[in-house]
Chains A and B, each alone.
Chain A
Amino acid sequence: MVKKFSRSQQVDIMQKILHEANKEYQKTIQENESETANEDLEKSLKIFN
């Protein structure tokens, strides 16, 4: 059985994935920061927080 998603639904889903990816990324770099002093991550946090 094939379920089709409309173009608009496809865009919504892909946007959601991008949004979640960003959230996951922010979470990970925040966790990592407490363990290691990564200069790049610190700079990233300054920009994105």
Chain B
Amino acid sequence: MTTLAIDNTFDDPARRAPLVLNHTDFGSVTNDICAVNEAPKAPRAWYIAFAISVMFLGILGGLILYLFATGIGVWGNQNPVMWGFPIVNFVFWVGIGHAGTLISAILHLFRQKWRTGINRFAEAMTIFAVICAGMFPGIHIGRVWVFYWMFPMPNQMEMWPQFRSPLLWDVFAVGTYFTVSLLFWYMGMIPDLATLRDRARTRVRAIAYGIFALGWRSSMRHWHRYERAYLLLAALATPLVLSVHSVVSFDFAVSQIPGWHTTIFPPYFVAGAIFSGFAMVMTLAVPARQLWGLKDFITLRHLENMNKIILVTGSMVGYAYIMEFFIAWYSGSLYESFAFINRATGQYAWAYWIMVSCNVIVPQIFWFRKARQSIAIMFVASLLVNVGMWFERFVIIVTSLAQDFLPSSWGYFKPTWVDLLMLAGSFGLFMTLFLLFCRFLPIIAIAEVKHTMPEADPHSHGGTDEHHREARA
């Protein structure tokens, strides 16, 4: 296919940029997107990536068993840094999980039609990232066999969780976010699963997709309620996206540790989460569109728009870093001022400067149009942003805990090999789920993409007089 023959990256208010290139009929859109799932064999790169991912997933599984059998001493968590890698990884993965629902909910409310090219796999990515995120606090509690103490469940000890704790709010926030994202993702996928069902050549495929398509028969009476439900879910998920990382930030902000006890945390965390989430979408979208020839649906314009969001949110994060310093000075609190000067010049200065260069300096390249449209630059930048955002959480958690109030209780956190391999293993879990998703489920929202094509507008074919009369009435 002759991709990029058409430049749709122009900014001309008089012309509507096409969001689907080289397709003027719905049938070819269905064919090209379904081809990803219907090809008898996946591309070779898929098998290689899948083998590596499953290997890391296996390592993760083995290490979790080792952890359960031995205890959380296998990690580097040690007095005074009791929240080490597990919580860093938790916050990192929850942050990654923000882009999907932002794209499907907030961009839907803002009528950003370009979201249809990327929303499906961004939502899938959200769900898999939240699974990775939820795993870490789950295995961090030590006595995993009493994990249900996190939930308000009647028990023989007449014991209830304490709702003044932000950690408990987090259970509700992340649990709700996961459930709502899953529902949103699945509901959006029903029409596309029906497409795959109706195209199935084998009985197994027809039954498998058929069950999950729930017997969807694209009835307009159903579509009517479906669209309303989609709008309602978007309206519900919009405050939810903003609330999840706000609640995660309460885990820190509600405590009294210097460097954590600040009111800027909720917006700062949310901006960082969207920033890292979009970077991860970019990291995955660039190879995926290449591998499966989806450049007509995930066009350069889509990528450029995402780069603009990365630039905006990256700058917001940079602003937050500066503002933290200002407030630390302005508060007049010795401990606060020390916490921040120590971050930039103390024993973890290396981590701090990795964070600043990756999160603040790297995205500034997207001020340039050439950089926003260069696949190589955006891919490398997105990887660096992922690294930077992981280090942001490391800096926040570890520097504040390692040196808080009393110099006599200061310490230095060192991760163990288990910490490092579990972080790698969580990527294995994430990528295994994501690769399976790419192979078996529609990775682009077929029905929604068709809806954004100019051909989908009833007026584009010169609708009949009757319809125009209807429109005026």
Question: Does A pair with B?
Answer: no
